[in-house]
A and B are shown apart, each in its own frame.
Chain A
Amino acid sequence: MLPSQAMREHLLRDMVLLLAATLVLGTVSNLFPSRRLAWWGAGQQPPQVGVDFQWMDVLSAEEIRQSLPGAVFIDARGLGAYGESRIPGALHLSYTELGTALPADLEARLRGADLVLLYGDTADADIEQLMSQQLRRLGLAPPYILLGGLPAWRAAGLPVESASEVAP
């Protein structure tokens, strides 16, 4: 497909030059403190259980919800899913919101909470893990993540509420 040896060599040379330019630009740009990342993975490590968050099973979470009024449940799913059904009393917070501008009243509420529990709709809870890491960076205690998310909560027959059930 490549027409000639000369063209192949030309292509290879240009690709190496492009790679070199990438390395120079990336290295220089990473010297700016405002956007700096650690070179070798130490800057933003994956969230770790026991450090950034703890797991909590659905039955313990329900017990906490009923017995600890200072506990805050955070729904990390999309706003549409949150409107349809959620754990009673849960607040909504998205990862994007958390990364850019956490509403002041919500931040105050989280700081004053006895316990914060995050839940989503997947068993992996990737987003919730990232959110818990971000919350910890904001200086909050490591939150809990609901094991199995809302599907596990529903499967256990625990109550959910929808927007229409909440008084304005």
Chain B
Amino acid sequence: MRSLVALRILLHDRATTLGTLIGVIAIVFLVGQQLAVLFGLFTFMSVLVDHSGADLWICSKNTTNVNSAGLIPERYVERVTGLPEVAWAEPLLFGNATFVTTQGTNESVQVVGLRLPRAAAGPWRFAQGSGVGLLDYDGVTLDRLDLRMFGNPEPERLYEISNVRVKVSAITQSIKGFAGRLVFTNLVKAREILKTPPGRCRAVLVKLADGADRGAAIVKLKSLFPAAEVIAASDLSAATRIYYVKNTGMGGSFGFSTVVGALVGIIIITLTMYTAVLQRQKDFAVLRALGARKTDILIIVLSQSLMIGVAGIFVGFLLLSLFLRATLDSPLPSYMPAGAAPVLALGTLLLCVLGSVLAMRKAVSIEPASVFR
């Protein structure tokens, strides 16, 4: 009966219910959107590591994030390949360069050179063409999202990156990097563009054989290459994200925006819930006179808060999913991991309850005697 009373009052006081609902939606959408952008940026930061297909990365000593890796000898590849616990090893080269657009302006890009035919950490989604195009000595890929920025270069036409001739051999589909627009090419062309000395690369990617112990393999490779860093791909991915969050002020910025979003929502919830209780003071006094305990009144207000919370979460997630869908193939980073949604929903419910604390205090303080004249 208490839940029914709570629901009926909510449906009756449509204006205040709508106000509170907007508060909840604001929390879900504003906080969710901030988180989606943050998680989207996370995927940008470690995109090469996450799509490398490798279990381990061998980098220069003291590498704190994938983009800070220095040059290491490419011959590591041969030494690693011979080990029984290794399925394959591939060199990887990457660095910043300048793409000369069709208008003659310069745009910064991150060139990624990979060895064919495996093309580990290579392009994995194509809008036009395929990775085979990289077999062409001059072949590079550009991303569909960057084409306008580059002045809409056409496939199979020659362009220039850092004074080196390249040919657009394929267009990738929404592959976005954090350190610059990703341009994939073969190892030889990358070395030419990036002016990398022969026999050097940025990383050696290692795929372990089935059943191989990762921890033991790391120890073995570290002993083999004491001048290098051997890192599990998952650890390098996490280290890269943490590095950027800590060192770019991004963590603080997104944290602040998230808190502001939550605060805006909780203030709206608090004010509207409190107003709703003020409007219904007489009803609560009547219920108390009829035999409702303070606990019963508390449960009614709490039920209202949870009902609005659930409805607001539903609508908020609906809007959030529209946002995620709209930004799926756009330069705007947005991504919501499956595990984040329940956390956001539970957090929002918690904020709803917090927002209704003042209203609950007011509701239980209403004296039943006030209903008598």
Bound pair: A and B? Answer: no
Identify the B interface with A (CB < 8 A).
Answer: none
Interface positions of A (Cβ within 8 A of B): none
